[in-house]
Structure 1
Amino acid sequence: MSSITEPGGDARSPSFFAKQATIAQPGFSRWMVPPAALAVHLCIGQAYAFSVFNGPLTKVIGITQSAPDDWSLTALGWIFSLAIVFLGLSAAFAGKWLEKVGPRRTMFTAACCFGGGFIVSAIGVWIHQIALLYLGYGVLGGIGLGLGYVSPVSTLIRWFPDRRGMATGMAIMGFGGGAMIAAPLSVALMNHFKSATSIGVAETFIVLGIAYFISMTIGSLAIRVPPADWKPAGWTPPATTATKMITRNHVHIDQALKTPQFYLIWLVLFLNVTAGIGILGQASVMIQESFKNTVSAAAAAGFVGLLSLFNMGGRFVWASASDYVGRKNTYFIFFALGAVLYWLVPSFAASGNIALFVLCYCVILSMYGGGFSTVPAYLADMFGTAFVGGIHGRLLTAWAAAGVAGPVLVNYIRAYQVAHGVAKADAYTMTVHIMTVLLVIGFICNLLVKHVNEKHHMTDAQLASAK
């Protein structure tokens, strides 16, 4: 295709990556959009399987066991935390840019960053420089995560105004399910590349980086956006009810930051994510230490995959259910049930009941995932759809903050207790009790969410000017 200027120039047609080039033509089926979103989210969902690399990365030098100069588990934990931090920051700062350039360019940029992050990390493993893992997977990969995360979500909300929860569930379930594929695949690749002089992680990073770049690029090429003022045939906007606080008005992305609703929902997401993300980051190690000599590394990888399955399924099931019971009531369930389950987990571990231990975490992770997929619809209900992509991006700073808080709670409290004589199998008890308290606070924050004051609503003239 010939090189053509961007919108506002004198070109006869938009460039391939311009937003105008992605506007769907008459007859286009909106059901073609979810597969494009999944092509991206299934890739970036690999982040939830990163814990399978933590054990091998502590043996890069020693190969069979950790050597004195090998990286510690706490040092490696910052790779995942940095990725989540930059996910939130990139989503927040790129919100307006995303609305301007459209999903295709955003998703392709995400493919370059996420795939490239693996390549940089592989070099870091080869020369044993953890700073390159922080830069590669943490910074570049995190930026790819953020850009790849928000773009399909905002696009699907516009395609499915009649089923916002289901739409966001379709987009975000791929992110939760990515680890279901990535965990066993990563273990298999490391075993394939393992040798007397290599643990196989660097080679695995190279393969994953290339594969994810290709898949995410395909998704970016297939994405489409609906024409202006498009609505499903026969659909009329719903009326607000006590259980479904759905506005017909719109709030500007900058004005949303001046409302208490934004910060209450920010806390709701932060507390829900903090209670789950630290467990995800250390899921493989946690179950092996909780059931010493009972759970193998392969079985632990299976546990990570199972959590991913519930994480993925919960994103679709809970978000779809929120279309009927309302977003606020859905979060009430997350916080109340989650607090009870977290309180019970240590007793199941102490009694050696693996089945109930696994079941509790599966339900918890389903609600953790459901929180992610329900919050974009929650925002659309509160602030309208005109700027939901940018508002959602800014709200994901809560995820970035939780990406630090969750792993710190799990890793450092565990390390402190072990250093003071607490058995590794018991070292997570205090942490999950803290998680219980956080969920109770989240319940209160969600209770305080009310309708946005009409003074924040955009007039028809303001909305037309913004478009």
Structure 2
Amino acid sequence: MGARPGGFLDRSRTVAPPGWNRWLVPPAALSVHLAIGQAYAWSVFKPPLESALGLSGTQSALPFQLGIVMLGLSAAFGGTLVERNGPRWAMFVSATCFSSGFLISALGAWTGQYWLVVLGYGFVGGIGLGIGYISPVSTLIKWFPDRPGMATGIAIMGFGGGALIASPWSAQMLETFGRTNTGIAQTFLVHGLAYAVFMSVGVLLIRVPTETAEKRVARSAVNVSARNALKTPQFWCLWVVLCFNVTAGIGILEKAAPMIRDFFADTSAPVAAGAAAGFVALLSLANMAGRIVWSSTSDLVGRKNIYRVYLGAGALTYLALALAGNTSKVLFVVCAMLILSFYGGGFATIPAYLKDLFGTYQVGAIHGRLLTAWSLAGVLGPLIVNAIADGQKAAGKAGPDLYTTSLHIMIVLLVVGFVANELVRPVAAKHHEPVLEGASR
């Protein structure tokens, strides 16, 4: 599927005129990423769905898990199409799929057919997530070759910050409409319509640099095709790094609201539902801030060094969380926010890391293929946390004991990711592209 030649979505219709201000591109990217970042607020829907449809914690995670799986798969298979057809086409496809996913989910909630919620939010909406996520990345790197970490951080910050808006917004709508099938359906319906309008801003505003500018950037660095990148150990080391860093963060994020309530349920001051939704918003803020702060820092200290922080300090933070238990809400919140900042920073820095290693030639397509690591992590993280928590609850345990084993597993995964990052070296010359005239394809 591609844009109609000469049509509104065609790449040629998005080439920037002379004097175009490149700082208009990040807001276009943000309009898409802030919308699809709603995925990080899924945990707000888990308790109402579990109550209304009689689901377990593992079952209520399915739409989110499938959405992340489809994010990675659609990014991997659609990456080349995005490079060929341009960001406007990609943003339009993303908006169509993401909004439609909510509308299908609304029908599922209204009729009590949970499989429609999984299909809509997870499958259809997940395709919108993947195409939308990669839609501006290559374009931003080409507009900001001098500060790729900062540029991608600004856009991908929106994905991390989407829940900062969506979490309290969703919680308020559920309170207004009710936590019944009908109330959940109405909330999904409003989301679908509102995001369709909001994402249209990016579709209209996005521009790409001229072909001459793209080729000039491409000649200034190493360039490796997406096909050849898959043959390098560097790609697979970064795949492991991304997969395990994401697994460690997404496990907490997907279950954030019920997790903090479980941790402190047996204390003198349990956490209310509204406060739990606020905790989700705080995690979104940390996720968002980490994406711009840490990725911008990587422009100064280097990508490998910043990933040493994400993975090494992340493992130590998880250890502190496991050892502290429910002794301090402040410590719990601070540790969780730090972990989520590393999680977000890892996402925002990976496109610049890929650009450093493989060049700008097909960085969008390479990034899309790398996001299959996110697909696995999207299943692995929530599965570890939810399955172990369900098992511990069935065994009669409560509080931090529901999550202690999961926290230790995350520490091990982050250590493995740390080792994989240490193994990254420059790409061998045999994988470089000898001719760059097709660099803008």
**TM class, shorter-length:** over 0.9
Conserved 8 A contact 1:60-1:199 = no
Distance 1:26 1:262, change over 3 A: same
**Mean Cα deviation higher: 339-348 or 379-388:** 339-348
Conserved 8 A contact 2:110-2:184 = no
* Aligned counterpart in structure 1 of residue 63 of structure 2, from 79, 92, 104: 79
* Aligned counterpart in structure 2 of residue 127 of structure 1, from 111, 132, 138: 111
Superposed CA offset, 1:102-126 (max 9, x none): 1101101100100000010011111
1:262 lines up with 2:254 in the alignment? no
Q: Indicate the structure (1 or 2) with the bigger Cα radius of gyration.
A: 1
State how far apart, in whole Å, the 2-side matches of 1:169 and 1:339 are. Answer: 23
Conserved 8 A contact 1:348-1:354 = no
Q: What code does the residue aligned with 2:329 have?
A: I
* Aligned counterpart in structure 2 of residue 31 of structure 1, from 23, 26, 49: 23
Residue 39 (structure 2) aligns with? 47
State how far apart, in whole Å, the 2-side matches of 1:364 and 1:417 are. Answer: 24
TM-score for the superposition, normalised by structure 1: 0.90
State how far apart, in whole Å, the 2-side matches of 1:96 and 1:371 are. Answer: 23
CA apart distance, 1:421: 2.4
Runs of 4+ deviating beyond 3 Å: 235-238, 462-467
1:59 lines up with 2:59 in the alignment? no
CA apart distance, 1:348: 2.5
Conserved 8 A contact 1:59-1:199 = no
CA apart distance, 1:350: 3.1
* Aligned counterpart in structure 2 of residue 118 of structure 1, from 102, 123, 143: 102
State how far apart, in whole Å, the 2-side matches of 1:458 and 1:374 are. Answer: 24
* Aligned counterpart in structure 2 of residue 188 of structure 1, from 161, 165, 172: 172
RMSD of equivalent CA atoms: 1.9
Residue 388 (structure 2) aligns with? 413
Q: What code does the residue aligned with 2:11 have?
A: K
Superposed CA offset, 1:406-429 (max 9, x none): 001000011112222222432101
TM-score for the superposition, normalised by structure 2: 0.96
1:88 lines up with 2:56 in the alignment? no
1:455 lines up with 2:438 in the alignment? no
1:439 lines up with 2:439 in the alignment? no
CA apart distance, 1:362: 0.6
State how far apart, in whole Å, the 2-side matches of 1:388 and 1:217 are. Answer: 25
1:45 partner SS: helix
Matches within 5 A, 1:303-322: 303-322=279-298
State how far apart, in whole Å, the 2-side matches of 1:109 and 1:212 are. Answer: 13
Residue 315 (structure 2) aligns with? 339
Conserved 8 A contact 2:222-2:358 = yes
The unaligned stretches of length 5 or more in structure 1 are 8-13, 62-69, 239-246
Q: What code does the residue aligned with 2:41 have?
A: A
Q: What code does the residue aligned with 1:346 have?
A: A
Matches within 5 A, 1:418-433: 418-433=393-408
* Aligned counterpart in structure 1 of residue 156 of structure 2, from 166, 172, 191: 172
CA apart distance, 1:229: 3.4
Residue 330 (structure 2) aligns with? 355
Conserved 8 A contact 2:83-2:362 = yes
State how far apart, in whole Å, the 2-side matches of 1:441 and 1:223 are. Answer: 39
State how far apart, in whole Å, the 2-side matches of 1:350 and 1:60 are. Answer: 29
1:21 lines up with 2:13 in the alignment? yes
Conserved 8 A contact 1:173-1:315 = yes
Conserved 8 A contact 1:162-1:237 = no
Residue 209 (structure 1) aligns with? 192
Distance 1:418 1:317, change over 3 A: same
Q: Which has the higher helix share?
A: 2
Q: How many residues align?
A: 436
Residue 373 (structure 2) aligns with? 398
Superposed CA offset, 1:293-346 (max 9, x none): 521000000000000001000000000000010011100011110000101112
The unaligned stretches of length 5 or more in structure 2 are none
Distance 1:437 1:72, change over 3 A: same
CA apart distance, 1:255: 0.8
